[in-house]
Amino acid sequence: MGRSLPLYAACLVGALGLACQRGAPSAEAVPSASVAGDGGPAPLSSIAVDHGELDTRPPSAAPSVAARVIAATIYKLPDIESRRLGYVRLGGSVPRDPAPVRGKGCKGSFWRVYPMGYMCDEDVTTDLDAPLVRAAAVRPRLDRPLPYAYGFVRATAPQYLQVPTRKQQLASELQLEEHLAWYEEHRAEVQTVVRGANDVLLDSRGVPSPRAEPAAGHRESTSLSLLELFGAATPAGELPEWLAGGRRAVPNVSAFQVPEYAVFADRVRRKTGLSFVGAFLAEDDGLARPFGITVDLRLIPLTKVKPDTGSAFHGLDLRQLELPIAFVSRSGARAWHLRRGRDETVDAGEVPYRAVVPLTGKARIKAGKRHYQTRKDPKLWLRAEDLGIVAPPPTWPEAAEKGEKWIDVSLVQQTLVLWEGKRPFYATLVSTGRDRLGDPKTSLATPRGEFRLQSKHVAAAMDSEENSAVAGGTRSARSGGLSAEHRALHEKLEADEAAGRRLSDEDRRRLLNLRKGRHPEYGVTVRRGAANFELRDVPWIQYFAAGYALHGAYWHDVFGAPRSHGCINLAPADARVVFQWTDPPLPAGWHGVNIGSDMGLGTPVVVRE
């Protein structure tokens, strides 16, 4: 009969040399990273990499331009048909040259921006004090695992453009009084949160560390008020100036077009994951109700949203550890003694979930199960099915032989390791495609092979099948369902054409596909209604193949088990470490970058069994 007493389990931790996830060791020999505010995080690497034109520095005291659309494109040349290098999100700013230049495809002029590229002055402003720029002044927090505050819609919710009166809310929301009565009865339940991703302490290099000091003003998620959980700077929140006086002082910037006087702008479906940059309490005619402010400056009643703080799980720095090691990737895992001369095992007690165990590398098959020997107590063995093993790959890729940085993903082990040549830097558990070793063309599996990163995005919307318009999009017709980003692209292109703005050949092709109900990039037919919900501002996205990305997941905590539709899901703290570490770095002020030869090569990604 197996033993599972708490005291025995505690002794077992010491015997195995286990490091529980929140107490994982970390090395001290990693260069510091600058990740505050709107600047791009510096790569966490000692390896010098040539980033081409991205290494260009702006002149001292260079003026700036700020984005006044949701995503202001940066072009390679002053020509809208030239390569798209990246983009700046609404309210973000980048340094520029003092004088504009003439170009092609923009009704006005272009601004040369740094470190490279040009922006059309239809999408930006030189007035950094403009009302719209001030309204969008809350930038993504690049110094935290989650760059925004997040929540999930519990019931279909309206998206308001200005603070609605009681009468307007009753007219816009079906059975509102019944909903508010239910909310008051269940307030404690729907507002309950647990320790989350932003409670993970990061050291001066941005790496999760149990020895890190909390940042000034840091508070646990469980101590935050409801409004703070949705991005408010203070427990009581504050009505922003652009909403004061009962009128909206800035234009609607979302793709959902409405008259200037409109109060209501579309609805958001149940299960949608939303990102927030602020929150406040509004009261009218006896109705007091909290509202959250989304990135596109719409208002969501928070009685219909449950806050989500993401997973506090994270991996560990490998600089001072000897491989192989293993993460305990299943709850209820046991340690075993192997009976010598018999095909039997003896239960030696429970092993903590997500503990880190040093291994000797020796394996034995007993009772039909593969077991691995622990290093600190060779008499104890763990079952392979309970582990995510981190070890050198069976063969070294070209990047390793050349001493480059590269990412190793094992579909069998559900692990990700960052390597600098043949030196391991960081390891963690991931969730790859739920069909694990299946054919990605016919199943929900992650493709195997050697790739390089194609683009990087601080955050972007995905649908329930992890499709996004920022890169790659839907992987095949079976994935189905035009995402919200694709619908927004369709509306934007239609509006540009109607306004007489000249579309590039690329955008004309996209618009034709969208008009036929096809994917804008690949032209495959998209089935209506296939996408169940939308995930806004999925953090730290890095595409390595068409439609496949490494990214943070704030909506689940089963890392170590296959779960996704093909992307590689990481806990938010881990996704941020990987994003900082990879090349090229994201330039200060940019929200996304499309990697090309003019900025050096993207970091290699190896996906193997």
Q: Could you report the per-residue pLDDT of 193-204, keeping only the tens digit for each?
A: 999 999 999 998
Rounded-to-integer distance, Cα 258 and Cα 274, Å: 21
> Is residue 138 classed exposed, middle or buried when 0-12, 13-18 and 19+ CB atoms within 10 A define those classes?
middle
Rounded-to-integer distance, Cα 532 and Cα 238, Å: 34
Mean pLDDT of the chain: 87
CB 148 within 8 A of CB 295: yes
The DSSP code for 518 is B
How large is the C-alpha radius of gyration of the chain? 25
CB 459 within 8 A of CB 541: yes
Task: Please tell me the predicted confidence (pLDDT) of residue 447.
Answer: 97
Is the pLDDT higher at 444 or at 574?
Answer: 574
pLDDT in tens, 494-547: 777 777 777 877 677 778 777 766 656 544 444 333 346 689 999 999 999 988
Neighbours of 108 (CB within 10 A): 13
Helix (H) or strand (E) holding 85: strand 84-89
The set of long-range contacts for 33-36, using a CB threshold of 8 Å and a minimum separation of 24, is 33/204, 33/205, 33/206, 33/580, 35/142, 35/143, 35/206, 35/580, 36/142, 36/143
pLDDT band at 134 (very low <50, low <70, confident <90, very high): very high
Rounded-to-integer distance, Cα 297 and Cα 255, Å: 12
Q: What's the order of all strands across the beta sheet hosting 334-338?
A: 345-350, 334-338, 381-383, 369-374, 356-366, 325-328, 387-390
Q: What is the DSSP string of 150-183?
A: EEEESS-EEEESSPPPHHHHHHHSTTHHHHHHHH
Rounded-to-integer distance, Cα 89 and Cα 8, Å: 53
CATH number for 55-135 (one of 3.30.70, 3.10.350, 1.20.120, 2.30.30): it is 2.30.30
CB 468 within 8 A of CB 541: yes
> What share of the chain in percent tops pLDDT 70?
86
Chain Cα centroid distance, residue 65: 26
* Nearest Cα residue to 476 out of 485, 484, 467, 463: 467
**Domain boundaries along the sequence of the chain:** 6-24+315-390, 55-135, 149-308, 398-481+527-608
Task: Please tell me the predicted confidence (pLDDT) of residue 111.
Answer: 98
| Mean pLDDT calculated for residue range 538-563 | 95
Output b/e per residue, 68-81; b: 16+ Cβ within 10 A. bbbbbbbbbebbbe
> CA 443, 447, 450: angle at the middle one, nearest 5?
170
> CA 500, 506, 509: angle at the middle one, nearest 5?
85
| Mean pLDDT calculated for residue range 596-601 | 91
Rounded-to-integer distance, Cα 511 and Cα 521, Å: 10
pLDDT band at 210 (very low <50, low <70, confident <90, very high): confident
Rounded-to-integer distance, Cα 282 and Cα 414, Å: 46
Is the pLDDT higher at 146 or at 20?
Answer: 146
Is residue 478 over pLDDT 50? no
Rounded-to-integer distance, Cα 478 and Cα 441, Å: 9
Task: Please tell me the predicted confidence (pLDDT) of residue 433.
Answer: 94
Task: Please tell me the predicted confidence (pLDDT) of residue 466.
Answer: 65
| Mean pLDDT calculated for residue range 290-310 | 97
Rounded-to-integer distance, Cα 572 and Cα 433, Å: 18
Rounded-to-integer distance, Cα 494 and Cα 488, Å: 10
Which residue type occupies 480? G
**CATH 3.40.50.1820 for the 398-481+527-608 domain, yes or no:** no
Record the pTM. Answer: 0.86
| Rounded alpha-carbon distances, angstroms, from residue 170 to 167, 243, 283, 285 | 5, 20, 14, 12
The DSSP code for 503 is P
The DSSP code for 221 is G
CB 289 within 8 A of CB 170: no
Neighbours of 223 (CB within 10 A): 10
Rounded-to-integer distance, Cα 246 and Cα 266, Å: 20
Is residue 130 over pLDDT 90? yes
Alpha-helical runs (H) found in 235-386: none
Is there a common fold for 6-24+315-390 and 55-135?
A: yes
Task: Say if strands 568-570 and 604-608 run parallel, antiparallel, or are unpaired.
Answer: unpaired
Chain Cα centroid distance, residue 439: 25
Class of domain 6-24+315-390: mainly beta
Task: Please tell me the predicted confidence (pLDDT) of residue 525.
Answer: 41
